Amino acid sequence: MEIAENRVTGDQPSSRRSIGFTTRKIACQQSLGECLSQRRAALSLTLDDAAHKLTINAQYLEALEKSDHRALPGTVYAVAFLKAYAQLLGLDANEAIARYRSELKITRHAAAQATERWQPVRRVGWWQLLVPARLMRNAGIALVLAVCLTYLGFKVEAIVQPPFLNVSSPADELLTESPVLTVAGQTEVGSTVTVNGQEVFNDERGQFSVPLDLQPGVNLIRVTARKHRGSETVIQRSVVLEPKEP
């Protein structure tokens, strides 16, 4: 896996530093989750620190480090979380995603093989086939009720749970000389997105991009995603505009 190392170039004023990126190959024979955990520890970050920086629930980052696929909210969200986490840790995001998909495929294949193991057929006596009609009817009613309750539970959870939101641009605490900045990201399809209180359009994949005028000094950018009759997810970014000197 590749790690991005930040190197600060010299001979620059302290108020405006230029940061360059180089990459180097590292040997990581452990699983992807172990690589993430080791890299985070090397950067002296806790899970809560990383969760705060990314505005991602800490339990999802922990699930990535433990390779606990069942604790993640789905492949699309898991890949988005992993990409942001890898970038925070200075890892190659594309390679991390490729390893995640490979490990997920192996896990699912192993689970499928476990369920397909051959088991001997147990001989059933004729008296065991004489199931009363009333018992069959009651079992059918119970099954229908269980399916309906499960379906309603998923619907209620989908309404109540805050929507997924990822802001890819701008980075937090960005220093820029341009008075116009593009705010871009992705949210759950069907969610309403606002930037500093103004509703913005998001396409059929939940992606959005909108220009924003900046004022000299510190600009606070608040991006909100809300479901219909549901709770909201909020991400804030701080951008500093330093206009070019005439």
> How does pLDDT run across 47-71, given as a tens digit for each residue?
999 999 999 999 999 999 998 988 8
The H or E element containing residue 231 is none
* Contact of 100 with 32, CB cutoff 8 Å: yes
Where exactly are the structural domains of the chain? 2-111, 165-241
Please give the pLDDT value at position 39.
Answer: 92
Burial of 45 (0-12, 13-18, 19+ CB in 10 A): middle
Tell me, what amino acid is at 218?
Answer: V
- Return the sign of the alpha-carbon dihedral for residues 27, 30, 33, 37: negative
- Structure confidence at residue 157 (pLDDT): 56
Q: Which CATH class is domain 165-241?
A: mainly beta
Q: Is the pLDDT assigned to residue 23 strictly greater than 90?
A: no
The pTM assigned to this predicted structure is 0.40
Share of the chain above pLDDT 70, in %: 72
Mean pLDDT of all residues belonging to the chain: 80
Residue 204: predicted pLDDT:
92
- The fold of 2-111 is 434 Repressor (Amino-terminal Domain) (1.10.260)
